Amino acid sequence: MNFESGGIYHIYNQGNNRQRLFYNRENYLFFIRKMRHHILPFTDVLAWCLMPNHFHLMVEVKDVVLPVIIEGVTSNHPFNKKRLTLNSSIGIMLRSYTRAVNIQEDRTGGLFREETKAICLNGFNGLLPNWYTSFGVTFLNVEIPEFQYPQVCFNYIHANPVKSGLVKKQEDWEFSSYKDLKGLRDGSLVNRGKVKDLGLIIK
């Protein structure tokens, strides 16, 4: 995955062979805590949804690389040469979640597909073209229709539980940012201010 600061990305992965990722409510909550710890330092989360066998994240990247603070050594210390990337942080998140579920389920091996996907919604080949808002909808200057604006991805992520037949209404699915963005819950993972600034509309 190649991330750039200022890029808006749809990040997703699923269970290896479409196997289950979340076995109970506590698994979902544990993964949310992992996202907070491993994703938020690098990004503003715009939307998220956890499904029984896959997950979706829509983020705007703030920093691609962060310094690793070593206990007792300041970030300016010459011996503090380590850096943590968004890529490696996502890998750490998935591996640590896998270890916990493997212990819980008395299983071994990989839980997620080997490759996590990240599609840039506002640029290709390292170029981040201008975006503009018209009639409250954010559009981007790209030629591929399915990536014409982040609103499509935003809607898709929140509609996933309904389209999969898990619930009848988006607000009935606990494990997405829909309730937070609709004001039905006071979750702090998603950045409501950034969602508003980008002109993304929750339906």
With respect to residue 89, please indicate whether it lies within any of the assigned structural domains: yes
pLDDT > 50? residue 173: yes
Tens digit of each residue's pLDDT (9 = 90 or more) over 59-101: 999 999 987 665 555 555 555 456 789 999 999 999 999 999 9
Is residue 197 pLDDT above 50, yes or no? yes
Domain membership of residue 32 (yes or no) is yes
Q: Which of 174, 173, 180 is nearest to 202 (CA)?
A: 180
**Between residues 165 and 127, which one has the greater pLDDT?**
165
Domain for residue 202, yes or no? no
Is the residue at 82 inside a domain? yes
| Confidence band of 1 (pLDDT split at 50, 70, 90) | confident
Question: Domain count of the chain?
Answer: 1
Whether residue 140 lies inside any domain: the answer is yes
134-146 residue pLDDT tens? 444 444 444 444 4
- Round to whole Å and give the CA distance between 198 and 188: 18
The residue range of the domain holding 12 is 8-197
Q: What is the DSSP string of the chain?
A: ----TT-EEEEEEEBGGG--S--SHHHHHHHHHHHHHHTTTTEEEEEEEEETTEEEEEEEES-SEEEPPPTTS-TTSTT---EEEHHHHHHHHHHHHHHHHHHHHT--S--B-S--EEEESS-BTTB---EEEETTEEEES-S-GGGS-HHHHHHHHHHHHHHTTS-SSGGG-SSBSHHHHTTSS---SB-HHHHHHTT----
Instruction: Name the residue among 33, 57, 37 with its Cα closest to residue 47.
Output: 57
pLDDT given at position 160? 94
Q: What is the mean pLDDT of residues 5-34?
A: 96
- Residue 3 within a domain: no
Q: Who contacts 171 (Cβ-Cβ below 8 Å, separation ≥6)? A: 178, 179, 182, 184
State residue 97's pLDDT score.
98
Whole-Å CA distances, 177 to 85, 111, 127, 192: 25, 24, 29, 10
| CATH number reported for the structural domain that contains residue 82 in this entry | 3.30.70.1290
Whether 147 has a pLDDT exceeding 50, the answer reads no
Asked if residue 2 belongs to a domain, the reply is no
Does 1 map to a domain? no
Average pLDDT of span 156-177: 96
